[in-house]
């Protein structure tokens, strides 16, 4: 046999021997780890308990399973926590008797947390549970909870921004929403958390039409920026024999509107400068609307009435001029206010309009 061939066979035998020894070492190490794991983690949860199956997307899904103690000693669980904020555990701490069982209940928030999660009829869910055990000889025990979540519907967009809306506009502010139905939807029930906003979902006349979410502001909506949260609860038709059927969760809809006044006062503030004490000056204030609508003066008042008088001037119907007479009563700054309650031809209620009055009294 040539020396080169003999050297090759020797190297092959060495490699085979190393592979054989490596296999034996791997098997032995795996056995040791499993044995050590059984000693270090005395709590056991069945595989079936760690998979809740397929359920509807919902904010409060309860899942109960048993935690088993495989030792002859009492095991105290100091805390149970999930790796996401979507989980709550009850009880948070408990005692598992020797060779016994203790039930715990998880409350899961399975609502979609992104557009990607809500756009699919079925998605996978997974989170880890960390069991903190009392006693330094027991490290934390970590288990993985899994399942599948079904979405009944998806609504896009999730935010309605109506922008600037004139106060008192007698109309319904409505926008279309796109609805993707993964299950037969009978209707939507809107629930609103704001007293200034009401919502209604109109049924389409045909299956091809989009549903319309109608938003109407209350006549009592004050000026300024307002936000509302509308929960659209889909009512689905359960035409299957699935015993785990639950009513689909609410779909959040966020509404923003900025109510601005359509009525203006010119000037918006009366800055009268320095006035001798005891003297009276006159100024003109004109009220109107940006849409040039007819304006009705419901009420007007002055504060304080002792040194501010308001006299209506002839009006053409579109704008209303007023003669304001102001008297300096004492040295120093004087601050007052004109207040009008007006109603335009398109207003549903009277709108409050104020004009600050500022002057400085001086002795001569």
Rounded to two decimals, the pTM is 0.47
Say how many Å lie between the first and final Cα of the chain, rounded: 134
Residues 6+ apart with CB under 8 A from 301: 338, 339
Question: Residue 194's domain spans which residues?
Answer: 153-260
pLDDT at residue 348, rounded to an integer:
55
Domain boundary among 229, 260, 291: 260
- Residue-wise pLDDT for 106-133, tens only, equals 999 887 777 677 667 788 999 899 998 8
163 against 169, higher pLDDT: 163
Burial 234-244 (b: 16+ CB within 10 A, else e): bebeeeeeeee
Output the domain CATH number for residue 135.
2.60.40.10
Domain boundary among 227, 244, 260: 260
Counted domains in the chain: 4
Residues 162 and 252 in one domain: yes
Residues 357 and 310 in one domain: yes
Q: Which of 35-49, 76-90, 130-144, 349-363 has the lowest mean pLDDT?
A: 35-49
Residue 28 Cα distances to 34, 99, 118, 192, angstroms: 10, 28, 47, 63
Residues 6+ apart with CB under 8 A from 117: 123, 151
């Amino acid at each position: 046999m040539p020396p080169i061939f003999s050297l090759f066979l020797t190297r092959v035998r060495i490699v085979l021997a190393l592979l054989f020894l490596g296999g034996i070492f791997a098997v032995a190490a795996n056995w040791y780890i499993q044995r050590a794991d059984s000693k270090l983690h005395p709590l056991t949860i069945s595989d079936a308990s760690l998979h809740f199956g397929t359920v509807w997307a919902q904010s409060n899904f309860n899942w109960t399973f048993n935690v088993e103690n495989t030792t002859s000693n009492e095991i105290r669980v100091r805390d149970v926590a999930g790796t996401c904020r979507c989980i709550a555990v009850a009880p948070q701490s408990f005692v598992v008797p020797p060779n016994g069982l203790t039930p715990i209940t998880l409350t899961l928030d399975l609502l979609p947390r992104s557009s990607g999660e809500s756009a699919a009829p079925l998605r996978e869910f997974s989170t880890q549970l960390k069991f903190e055990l009392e006693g330094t000889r027991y490290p934390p025990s970590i288990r993985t909870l899994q399942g599948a979540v079904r979405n009944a519907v998806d609504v896009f967009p999730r935010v309605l921004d109506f922008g600037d809306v004139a106060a008192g506009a007698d109309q319904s502010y409505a926008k279309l929403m796109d609805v993707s139905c993964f299950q037969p939807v009978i209707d939507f029930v809107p629930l609103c958390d704001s007293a200034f906003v009401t919502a209604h979902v109109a049924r389409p006349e045909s299956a091809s039409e989009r549903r319309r979410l109608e938003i109407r502001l209350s006549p009592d909506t004050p000026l300024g920026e307002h936000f509302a949260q509308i929960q659209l609860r889909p009512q689905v038709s359960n035409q299957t024999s699935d015993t785990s059927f639950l009513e689909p969760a609410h779909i959040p809809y966020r509404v923003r509107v900025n109510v601005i006044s359509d009525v203006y006062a010119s000037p918006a503030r009366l800055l009268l400068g320095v006035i001798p004490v005891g003297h009276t000056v006159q100024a003109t204030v004109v009220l109107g609307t940006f849409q040039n609508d007819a304006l009705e003066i419901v009420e007007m008042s002055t504060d304080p009435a002792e040194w501010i008088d308001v006299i209506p001037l002839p009006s053409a119907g579109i704008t209303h001029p007023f003669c304001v007479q102001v008297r300096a009563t004492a040295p120093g700054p004087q601050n007052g206010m004109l207040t009008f309650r007006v109603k335009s031809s398109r207003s549903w209620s009277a709108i409050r309009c104020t004009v600050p009055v500022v002057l400085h009294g001086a002795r001569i």
